[in-house]
Amino acid sequence: MDDERGQVLQDFAVGVSILLVTLAFVTLFLPNLFAPFAGGDTGDSIKTERVADSLIGNILKDSKQSTDKATIDREKTIAFFGTDDESITVDSSIYDNSQFNEDDEIHEIVGLREIRDNVFIQIIEPGETDTKTMEFYSEGDDVSSEPQEISLEAGNTPPTNQNVAVTERVVYINGEPYNMKVYVW
Report pLDDT for 18.
97
Per-residue pLDDT, 182: 92
Query: Distance between the two ends of the chain, CA-based, in angstroms?
Result: 78
Q: Average model confidence (pLDDT) for the chain?
A: 78
The answer to whether residue 4 sits within a structural domain is no
Does 26 fall in a domain?
no
Q: Is residue 28 part of a domain?
A: no
State how far the Cα of 144 lies from the Cα of 23, in Å rounded to an integer: 73
pLDDT the model gives residue 83: 59
Residues 1-19 have a mean pLDDT of 81
Output the pTM of the full model.
0.66
Percent of the chain with pLDDT over 90: 12
Which candidate, 64, 72, 182, places its Cα nearest to that of 134? 72
Residue 27 lies inside a defined structural domain of this protein: no
Task: Give the DSSP per-residue string, the chain.
Answer: ------SHHHHHHHHHHHHHHHHHHHHHHHHHHHGGG--S-HHHHHHHHHHHHHIIIIISB-TTS-SSS-BB-HHHHHHHHHTT-TT----GGGGGGSS--TT--HHHHHT--TTT--EEEEEE-TT--SBPEEEE--TT--TTSPPEEEESEEEPPPPSSS--EEEEEEEEETTEEEEEEEEE-
Residue 154: pLDDT band with limits 50, 70, 90: confident
Domain-embedded: residue 83: yes
Q: Which of residues 171 and 80 earns the better pLDDT score?
A: 171
Per-residue model confidence (pLDDT) at position 41: 59
Residues 6+ apart with CB under 8 A from 178: 123, 124, 125, 126, 132, 170, 171, 172
| Max avg pLDDT among 12-26, 131-145, 152-166 | 12-26
- Give pLDDT, residue 36: 59
Higher-pLDDT residue of 149 and 66 is 149
Which structural domain range is residue 103 located in? Answer: 42-184
In a domain, 76, yes or no: yes
Residue 2 lies in a domain: no
Residue 165 has pLDDT above 80, yes or no: yes
Q: Total domain count for the chain?
A: 1
Indicate the pLDDT class of residue 98, thresholds 50, 70 and 90.
Answer: low
